[in-house]
Protein backbone atom coordinates (compact mmCIF):
# COMPACT_ATOMS: atom_id res chain seq x y z
CA UNK A 1 0.00 0.00 0.00
CA UNK A 2 1.47 3.32 -1.10
CA UNK A 3 1.98 5.99 1.49
CA UNK A 4 -0.59 8.80 1.32
CA UNK A 5 0.68 12.33 0.76
CA UNK A 6 -0.49 14.79 3.40
CA UNK A 7 -0.28 18.53 2.86
CA UNK A 8 -0.91 21.59 5.00
CA UNK A 9 -1.53 25.28 4.34
CA UNK A 10 0.45 28.30 5.49
CA UNK A 11 -0.19 32.01 5.29
CA UNK A 12 1.75 32.33 2.03
CA UNK A 13 -0.66 29.82 0.42
CA UNK A 14 -3.81 31.80 1.28
CA UNK A 15 -5.81 33.99 -1.12
CA UNK A 16 -8.85 36.01 -0.02
CA UNK A 17 -11.76 36.73 -2.36
CA UNK A 18 -14.28 39.35 -1.16
CA UNK A 19 -17.47 38.92 -3.16
CA UNK A 20 -15.86 38.33 -6.56
CA UNK A 21 -12.79 40.54 -6.03
CA UNK A 22 -9.43 39.06 -5.01
CA UNK A 23 -7.39 41.26 -2.67
CA UNK A 24 -3.63 40.99 -2.69
CA UNK A 25 -3.14 43.53 0.10
CA UNK A 26 -4.79 41.57 2.91
CA UNK A 27 -2.44 40.63 5.74
CA UNK A 28 -4.64 38.75 8.15
CA UNK A 29 -8.12 37.32 8.49
CA UNK A 30 -9.63 35.50 11.44
CA UNK A 31 -13.08 34.25 12.30
CA UNK A 32 -14.91 32.63 15.18
CA UNK A 33 -18.25 30.94 15.74
CA UNK A 34 -19.87 30.86 19.17
CA UNK A 35 -23.18 29.63 20.51
CA UNK A 36 -25.13 30.37 23.64
CA UNK A 37 -25.45 27.31 25.88
CA UNK A 38 -26.62 27.06 29.48
CA UNK A 39 -26.67 24.16 31.88
CA UNK A 40 -29.99 23.37 33.54
CA UNK A 41 -30.04 22.47 37.24
CA UNK A 42 -32.82 21.13 39.42
CA UNK A 43 -33.33 20.61 43.13
CA UNK A 44 -31.70 17.57 44.62
CA UNK A 45 -28.68 17.39 42.30
CA UNK A 46 -25.44 19.38 42.24
CA UNK A 47 -24.85 18.31 38.65
CA UNK A 48 -26.50 19.71 35.54
CA UNK A 49 -29.53 17.77 34.30
CA UNK A 50 -29.31 19.02 30.72
CA UNK A 51 -27.88 21.74 28.50
CA UNK A 52 -30.05 24.28 26.71
CA UNK A 53 -28.88 25.44 23.29
CA UNK A 54 -29.48 28.97 22.07
CA UNK A 55 -28.34 31.38 19.38
CA UNK A 56 -25.16 31.07 17.31
CA UNK A 57 -23.07 34.06 16.21
CA UNK A 58 -20.18 34.42 13.78
CA UNK A 59 -17.65 37.23 13.97
CA UNK A 60 -14.13 38.02 12.87
CA UNK A 61 -11.64 40.59 11.63
CA UNK A 62 -9.27 41.23 8.76
CA UNK A 63 -6.36 43.59 8.16
CA UNK A 64 -5.31 45.33 4.94
CA UNK A 65 -1.96 46.88 4.15
CA UNK A 66 -2.34 50.38 2.70
CA UNK A 67 -0.61 50.28 -0.68
CA UNK A 68 -1.19 51.96 -4.02
CA UNK A 69 -4.17 49.80 -4.89
CA UNK A 70 -7.93 50.13 -4.75
CA UNK A 71 -9.45 50.19 -1.30
CA UNK A 72 -12.13 47.80 -0.10
CA UNK A 73 -15.12 50.08 -0.67
CA UNK A 74 -14.06 51.20 -4.13
CA UNK A 75 -13.12 47.72 -5.31
CA UNK A 76 -16.31 46.12 -4.01
CA UNK A 77 -18.45 48.83 -5.61
CA UNK A 78 -16.74 48.41 -9.00
CA UNK A 79 -16.80 44.63 -8.87
CA UNK A 80 -20.48 44.50 -7.94
CA UNK A 81 -21.65 47.21 -10.35
CA UNK A 82 -25.25 48.34 -9.60
CA UNK A 83 -25.86 45.38 -7.29
CA UNK A 84 -23.41 46.97 -4.82
CA UNK A 85 -25.35 50.24 -4.61
CA UNK A 86 -27.00 51.19 -1.33
CA UNK A 87 -29.82 53.62 -0.66
CA UNK A 88 -28.39 56.59 1.23
CA UNK A 89 -30.36 59.45 2.70
CA UNK A 90 -29.81 62.95 1.36
CA UNK A 91 -28.37 63.94 4.74
CA UNK A 92 -25.77 61.18 4.60
CA UNK A 93 -24.89 61.90 0.99
CA UNK A 94 -24.30 65.54 1.88
CA UNK A 95 -22.08 64.59 4.80
CA UNK A 96 -19.86 62.29 2.74
CA UNK A 97 -19.96 63.75 -0.77
CA UNK A 98 -17.02 65.82 -2.01
CA UNK A 99 -19.51 68.39 -3.29
CA UNK A 100 -22.62 69.32 -1.37
CA UNK A 101 -24.29 70.09 -4.69
CA UNK A 102 -25.00 66.37 -5.01
CA UNK A 103 -27.02 66.26 -1.82
CA UNK A 104 -30.53 67.65 -2.31
CA UNK A 105 -32.19 69.09 -5.41
CA UNK A 106 -32.27 72.82 -4.91
CA UNK A 107 -34.79 74.95 -6.70
CA UNK A 108 -35.99 77.15 -3.86
CA UNK A 109 -34.72 78.91 -0.77
CA UNK A 110 -35.71 76.07 1.58
CA UNK A 111 -33.49 73.65 -0.29
CA UNK A 112 -30.62 76.15 -0.35
CA UNK A 113 -30.93 76.58 3.43
CA UNK A 114 -30.87 72.80 3.88
CA UNK A 115 -27.73 72.62 1.77
CA UNK A 116 -26.02 75.27 3.89
CA UNK A 117 -26.96 73.48 7.11
CA UNK A 118 -25.57 70.19 5.87
CA UNK A 119 -22.33 71.74 4.67
CA UNK A 120 -21.90 73.23 8.13
CA UNK A 121 -22.14 69.79 9.69
CA UNK A 122 -25.77 69.93 10.74
CA UNK A 123 -28.78 67.99 9.59
CA UNK A 124 -32.09 68.83 8.02
CA UNK A 125 -35.06 66.81 9.11
CA UNK A 126 -37.42 67.55 6.24
CA UNK A 127 -37.25 66.44 2.63
CA UNK A 128 -39.63 69.23 1.65
CA UNK A 129 -42.78 71.05 2.65
CA UNK A 130 -46.17 69.53 1.91
CA UNK A 131 -47.75 72.04 -0.44
CA UNK A 132 -50.99 72.42 -2.34
CA UNK A 133 -52.17 69.11 -3.73
CA UNK A 134 -49.76 67.12 -1.57
CA UNK A 135 -46.60 67.87 -3.54
CA UNK A 136 -43.07 68.72 -2.49
CA UNK A 137 -41.63 72.02 -3.78
CA UNK A 138 -38.25 70.27 -4.21
CA UNK A 139 -39.14 67.98 -7.11
CA UNK A 140 -42.82 68.61 -7.98
CA UNK A 141 -43.44 64.95 -7.12
CA UNK A 142 -45.26 63.32 -4.26
CA UNK A 143 -43.54 64.04 -0.98
CA UNK A 144 -43.29 60.26 -0.54
CA UNK A 145 -41.17 59.86 -3.68
CA UNK A 146 -37.85 58.12 -2.78
CA UNK A 147 -35.89 60.91 -4.50
CA UNK A 148 -37.05 63.31 -1.80
CA UNK A 149 -35.28 61.27 0.85
CA UNK A 150 -32.19 59.88 -0.86
CA UNK A 151 -30.93 57.80 -3.76
CA UNK A 152 -29.15 54.55 -4.58
CA UNK A 153 -25.43 54.94 -5.18
CA UNK A 154 -22.04 53.46 -4.36
CA UNK A 155 -21.21 53.44 -0.62
CA UNK A 156 -18.74 55.89 0.89
CA UNK A 157 -17.50 53.86 3.86
CA UNK A 158 -17.11 50.15 4.55
CA UNK A 159 -20.01 49.77 7.02
CA UNK A 160 -22.39 50.82 4.21
CA UNK A 161 -21.42 47.82 2.06
CA UNK A 162 -24.17 45.28 1.47
CA UNK A 163 -23.61 41.75 2.84
CA UNK A 164 -21.04 39.75 0.89
CA UNK A 165 -19.17 36.43 1.13
CA UNK A 166 -15.47 36.04 1.86
CA UNK A 167 -13.92 32.97 0.21
CA UNK A 168 -10.54 31.93 1.58
CA UNK A 169 -8.65 29.78 -0.93
CA UNK A 170 -5.58 27.79 0.07
CA UNK A 171 -3.35 26.78 -2.84
CA UNK A 172 -0.11 25.07 -1.77
CA UNK A 173 2.92 24.56 -3.98
CA UNK A 174 1.95 20.91 -4.46
CA UNK A 175 -0.61 22.07 -7.04
CA UNK A 176 -4.33 22.69 -7.51
CA UNK A 177 -5.19 19.05 -6.66
CA UNK A 178 -4.50 20.03 -3.05
CA UNK A 179 -6.35 23.36 -3.12
CA UNK A 180 -8.99 23.99 -0.44
CA UNK A 181 -11.51 26.69 0.28
CA UNK A 182 -13.50 28.09 3.19
CA UNK A 183 -16.45 30.50 2.86
CA UNK A 184 -17.67 33.08 5.37
CA UNK A 185 -21.26 33.86 4.35
CA UNK A 186 -23.14 37.14 4.74
CA UNK A 187 -20.33 39.35 6.02
CA UNK A 188 -21.37 42.72 7.52
CA UNK A 189 -18.58 45.12 8.46
CA UNK A 190 -18.87 46.74 11.88
CA UNK A 191 -15.73 48.79 12.48
CA UNK A 192 -12.82 50.27 10.56
CA UNK A 193 -9.65 51.50 12.23
CA UNK A 194 -6.16 52.63 11.28
CA UNK A 195 -3.34 54.84 12.47
CA UNK A 196 0.31 55.64 12.03
CA UNK A 197 3.34 56.91 13.89
CA UNK A 198 6.87 57.99 13.11
CA UNK A 199 8.08 54.45 13.86
CA UNK A 200 5.67 52.66 11.52
CA UNK A 201 7.12 51.19 8.34
CA UNK A 202 3.77 49.78 7.22
CA UNK A 203 0.32 51.35 7.60
CA UNK A 204 -2.53 48.94 8.22
CA UNK A 205 -6.31 49.21 8.21
CA UNK A 206 -8.28 46.88 10.48
CA UNK A 207 -11.91 45.84 10.06
CA UNK A 208 -14.17 43.79 12.31
CA UNK A 209 -17.26 42.02 11.06
CA UNK A 210 -20.18 39.76 11.86
CA UNK A 211 -21.42 37.06 9.51
CA UNK A 212 -24.29 34.65 8.98
CA UNK A 213 -22.47 31.31 8.80
CA UNK A 214 -19.23 29.53 7.88
CA UNK A 215 -18.70 26.70 5.39
CA UNK A 216 -15.64 24.82 6.63
CA UNK A 217 -12.58 23.88 4.61
CA UNK A 218 -13.22 21.53 1.71
CA UNK A 219 -11.08 20.31 -1.17
CA UNK A 220 -11.76 22.03 -4.48
CA UNK A 221 -11.11 18.72 -6.22
CA UNK A 222 -13.99 17.17 -4.23
CA UNK A 223 -16.32 20.06 -5.08
CA UNK A 224 -15.67 19.80 -8.80
CA UNK A 225 -15.63 15.99 -8.82
CA UNK A 226 -12.16 15.93 -10.36
CA UNK A 227 -10.48 12.54 -10.20
CA UNK A 228 -7.27 13.17 -12.12
CA UNK A 229 -3.85 12.89 -10.59
CA UNK A 230 -2.15 15.74 -12.39
CA UNK A 231 -1.43 19.05 -10.74
CA UNK A 232 -4.01 20.81 -12.92
CA UNK A 233 -6.86 18.28 -12.81
CA UNK A 234 -8.99 20.09 -10.23
CA UNK A 235 -11.55 22.52 -11.63
CA UNK A 236 -12.00 25.60 -9.50
CA UNK A 237 -15.47 26.86 -8.66
Model pLDDT, residue 25: 83
Model pLDDT, residue 153: 82
Model pLDDT, residue 101: 42
Q: Domain range for residue 132?
A: 86-153
Model pLDDT, residue 121: 55
Contact predicate 37/53, CB 8 Å = yes
Model pLDDT, residue 99: 43
- Cα separation of the two ends of the chain: 32
Q: Examine residue 198 and state whether it is found in any structural domain, yes or no.
A: no
- pLDDT single digits (tens) 122-171: 555 544 444 444 444 555 456 677 777 888 888 888 898 989 999 999 98
Model pLDDT, residue 123: 54
Among the candidates 138, 153, 168, a domain finishes at 153
Model pLDDT, residue 57: 97
Q: Examine residue 47 and state whether it is found in any structural domain, yes or no.
A: no
- pLDDT single digits (tens) 61-77: 999 988 766 678 888 77
Q: Examine residue 194 and state whether it is found in any structural domain, yes or no.
A: no
Q: Examine residue 191 and state whether it is found in any structural domain, yes or no.
A: no
Q: Examine residue 132 and state whether it is found in any structural domain, yes or no.
A: yes
Contact predicate 162/88, CB 8 Å = no
Q: Could you tell me the pTM of the whole model? A: 0.71
Among the candidates 137, 153, 169, a domain finishes at 153
Same domain, 113 and 163: no
Same domain, 108 and 180: no
Give pLDDT < 70 ranges for the chain: 1-3, 68-70, 79-83, 97-143, 225-237
Amino acid sequence: MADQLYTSLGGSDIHAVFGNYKFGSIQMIRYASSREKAQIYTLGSPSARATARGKRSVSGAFVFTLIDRKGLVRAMAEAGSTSAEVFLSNDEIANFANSANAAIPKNDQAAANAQAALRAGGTTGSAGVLGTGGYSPFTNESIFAPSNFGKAQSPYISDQLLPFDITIVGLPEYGSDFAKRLIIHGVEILTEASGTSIDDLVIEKQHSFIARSISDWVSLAEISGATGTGNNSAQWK
